[in-house]
Structure 1
Amino acid sequence: MVTMTLFGSFILFLMISVPIGISLGMASVVTILTAKPISIESFTQTMIQGLNSFPLMAVPLFTFAGDIMGRGGISKRLLQVTGLLFGRFKGGLGLVSIAACLFFAAISGTGSATVAAIGLLMIPEMVRKGYGKTFSGALIASAGTVGVIIPPSVCMVIYAVAAGVSVTGMFMAGVGPGLLIGIGLSLYTLIYSIKKGYEGSREKHSFKDIILILVEAVPALLVPVFVLGGIYGGVFTPTEAAAVACIYGIIVSVFVYKEVKISDLLSIGYNAALLCAAVLVIIGISAGFGRILTITNIPVMIANSILEITSNKIVILIFINILLLIVGTFMETNASIIILVPILLPVVTALGVNPIHFGVIMVLNLAIGFVTPPLGCNLFMACQISDIKFDDIAKAILPWIAVMIVVLLVVTYVPNISLWLPKLLNMRI
């Protein structure tokens, strides 16, 4: 009765276009009023406690840091450096774009910010050099998915809070899969470019030019060193690292590259607050929603039902991957994590899957949703910045999705790809 009321009303509210956070709250209230699993007072207190989390402070801070660094000229310097490294290869501009997305992902923490920062510069340049417009847009949209996998990642923070695992552990676990996605996308770019005859850059740089590019890019290249090095070295927590990233971003963007004015900081902070407000509302309400799930043992019942069908780890993980891929096509990533973690985590832990490894699997699945219609927020961002029709880019994205699904399967069934770095640094996982 409680399960049907809770999920039935939640799905009904979603079908009539009620926002996800409000749908969660209204479904919880309907369930409380009809089945009385907990009191309204207890539900409200749980909501407040759900937001009273120190790691959650990293969400708006990383969002602010990513925004200011994207506007502050850091992405332009990263592109110049990656151009020196990869620009001469076949499909060089595509390889440069992917490498720049990997670098920028270690700054921004979000997918759409990565697409915007790199795409605004690279899509017009790729088109000017003869690359297909839809190919260029699909490449940037796909490479932007690493923004939520390569640390620091806002989605990783949300999962860590929801699952009760280490944020630092999640950050470290994202390095291997993020690099693997970059390699997979680069291989496809190289093969496609050879087939289409996309040449590399023929621009020659003098030794003096190379030195100038590298020196100018030093402040940009030091961002992940300061942020991630401080976290992994135990100098500060991920939340404190987010604050350091904000301060460093202000210094570099305002005083070093001088591409952001001090007067712009207020509007950047305001935009970051607006972006995070909806997520934090969902987190608070979902804490109350999760309390109802826990009290009524719904996750345990779902886990037992799945395990009664089959206890084969390979089969269950395939089913979970399919579910997450479907959910990622129509539901916002952070909301999906918050709703599904209490339901799916008991299932996978019963099979012996490490919670941190499962977090990487979940985030990677939902990241593929960034480029999968009808939601496809990275696709919409790529369309917006490049004047590509959504229908056209939706067709061009299919091979890229196939590449990422192959990577997903490898990450799912080879746990050490995610766990090698936490183990190397003696993290408790």
Structure 2
Amino acid sequence: MIIVAATFFTLLLVGVPIGFVLGIAGAIGLFMIGGDNFLMMAPKRFFDGLNLFTFMAMPFFILAGEIMNRAGMTMKLANFADSLVGYMRGGLAHSNMLASVLFAGMTGAAVSDAAAFGNTLVPAMTKQGYSRPFACAVTAAGSIIGPTIPPSNLMVIYGSLAGVSIAGLFAAGILPGILICLTCMALIVALGRRLGLPKAEGGPKLTEIIKAFKGSFLALLMPLIILGGILGGIVTPTEAAAIAVAYALFVGLIIERTITVNDIFQMLIRTSRITGVVFLIIASASILSWWMTFMQIPQQLAAFFLSLSDNPLVIKALILTFLLAIGMFMDINAALIILTPMLGTLTTAIGMHPVHAGVMIILTLNISLMTPPVGACIFVLSSVTGEKIEKISAALWPFIIAEVSVLVLITYWTDLAMFFPKLLLDL
């Protein structure tokens, strides 16, 4: 166990890609417990780690988001959001946050949100007088709504690995995503006067709202198609993802006519690259996960936490602290795959509902997407806008504290977390 852990952290520290780190550490673990005979299991575990039908939903959701973004739907959603809340002090910051909620229903990926709005809304905000670090911080804070509100690639991964209802996880993600948006908007209001955020003249105009709604109507339909199909029991998440791609292509090619054949080729390449990276991590992590299961590490970790306290409230606090710390230094896909068996055992031991536990774990790891030193959204925004990572991180702390507050509320108020799963799916 010491050798495997040392190998893992050494390779990680010297900069080896996480997909290779997981595979190498797992292969060494297999060799240590059974020599060549166990090492021969590595290729089979690598393949079996991806041999789940539900994983097919991920590339479809990614491609659907790419198509809608390329079709110009991102800015139409932003314009609709701006027509609703743009009149407030810090109006464009509010619009950014609300647009993240709308955009989340198309992509399910925080990095896509950060890249899309980093290219569009951040320049618009700086042009209106917002500081660029603050504009980037608002965009990063809103971007984690993407993998919280369904569809969510992380929920697909967790549900597939843990055997938890993906539809239930999707339903459980709706309220946390909305609460994050409202909490961050309240924070923007609180910071408005102190930071001197711009304020538009006049109030909301019904004619502008109707015009913006008409322009974004086709984009707003996509979340309804995805969620309505899944939660209504009409289609599986994978089938809903495929339907979303077909709908996005129909909008982009036939109605909007903003997508060319060459665009489709480029989007397929980008989707393949993103999917390939995630799938490599999943496949490699399955080798390490099998070794950890064989060594009974999930049971040992659960026993360790329970030895510290037998109070479920304390155990939940320890889990949140542990995940926030892990997320600061590890890719969240890898962290989710490795830790799912361990935390599943632990949360079951303290009596948490599997769906409640899943949304708690996923939301915690989502927050780590905007925490230094390896928060993916921070790096994307720095790359897209040219702003320094340190300045973005400094501006982000109020938003991190606000979103951790929502996380604590969701963790300890079970009925709040399970409201939509019980209402829509009777879980």
Shorter-normalised TM range? over 0.9
Paired residues for 1:22-171 under 5 Å: 22-36=20-34, 39-171=38-170
After superposition, the Cα gap between the structure-2 partners of 1:205 and 1:12, relative to the gap in structure 1 and judged at 3 Å, is closer
Taking only aligned residues, the RMSD between alpha carbons, in angstroms, comes to 1.8
Per-residue deviation, 1:194? 3.0
Task: Select the residue among 5, 20, 36 that pairs with 1:7.
Answer: 5
User: How far apart in 2 are the matches of 1:17 and 1:403?
Assistant: 32
CA deviation profile, 1:251-279 (whole Å, cap 9, x unmatched): 11222222221221011011111111121
Q: Percent identity?
A: 33
1:268 is matched with 267
User: How far apart in 1 are the matches of 2:38 and 2:220?
Assistant: 52
CA deviation profile, 1:89-125 (whole Å, cap 9, x unmatched): 1211111110000000111110011122223221122
Conserved? CA contact 1:74–1:253, under 8 Å: no
User: How far apart in 1 are the matches of 2:205 and 2:146?
Assistant: 33
User: How far apart in 1 are the matches of 2:214 and 2:10?
Assistant: 57
1:366 is matched with 365
> Does 199-208 or 412-421 show the bigger shift?
199-208
Conserved? CA contact 1:71–1:117, under 8 Å: no
Please report the TM-score for the alignment, with normalisation by the length of structure 1.
0.94
User: How far apart in 2 are the matches of 1:425 and 1:276?
Assistant: 30
User: How far apart in 2 are the matches of 1:282 and 1:291?
Assistant: 14
User: How far apart in 2 are the matches of 1:196 and 1:146?
Assistant: 24
Structure 2: where are the runs of 5+ without partners?
none
> Does 173-182 or 407-416 show the bigger shift?
407-416
User: How far apart in 2 are the matches of 1:403 and 1:357?
Assistant: 20
1:334 is matched with 333
The one-letter amino acid of 2:252's match is: S
SS of 2:235's partner is coil
Please report the TM-score for the alignment, with normalisation by the length of structure 2.
0.95
User: How far apart in 1 are the matches of 2:303 and 2:96?
Assistant: 45
1:221 is matched with 220
The one-letter amino acid of 2:64's match is: A
Per-residue deviation, 1:85? 1.0
Conserved? CA contact 1:58–1:242, under 8 Å: yes
Conserved? CA contact 1:70–1:113, under 8 Å: no
Per-residue deviation, 1:295? 2.2
User: How far apart in 2 are the matches of 1:142 and 1:206?
Assistant: 27
User: How far apart in 2 are the matches of 1:71 and 1:326?
Assistant: 36
User: How far apart in 2 are the matches of 1:277 and 1:356?
Assistant: 27
After superposition, the Cα gap between the structure-2 partners of 1:16 and 1:133, relative to the gap in structure 1 and judged at 3 Å, is closer
2:16 is matched with 18
2:320 is matched with 321
Conserved? CA contact 1:82–1:99, under 8 Å: yes
Per-residue deviation, 1:55? 0.5
Per-residue deviation, 1:31? 2.1
User: How far apart in 2 are the matches of 1:200 and 1:249?
Assistant: 35
User: How far apart in 2 are the matches of 1:313 and 1:207?
Assistant: 49
The one-letter amino acid of 1:152's match is: P
1:282 is matched with 281
Conserved? CA contact 2:167–2:231, under 8 Å: yes
Per-residue deviation, 1:288? 2.4
The one-letter amino acid of 2:62's match is: T
Report the number of matched residues.
Answer: 426
Conserved? CA contact 2:85–2:91, under 8 Å: yes
SS of 2:339's partner is helix
User: How far apart in 2 are the matches of 1:148 and 1:312?
Assistant: 30
> Does 87-96 or 34-43 show the bigger shift?
34-43
User: How far apart in 2 are the matches of 1:116 and 1:247?
Assistant: 23
Per-residue deviation, 1:84? 1.6
After superposition, the Cα gap between the structure-2 partners of 1:162 and 1:88, relative to the gap in structure 1 and judged at 3 Å, is same
Conserved? CA contact 2:144–2:369, under 8 Å: yes
2:251 is matched with 252
Paired residues for 1:198-237 under 5 Å: 198-202=197-201, 210-237=209-236
Structure 1: where are the runs of 5+ without partners?
none
> Does 197-206 or 126-135 show the bigger shift?
197-206
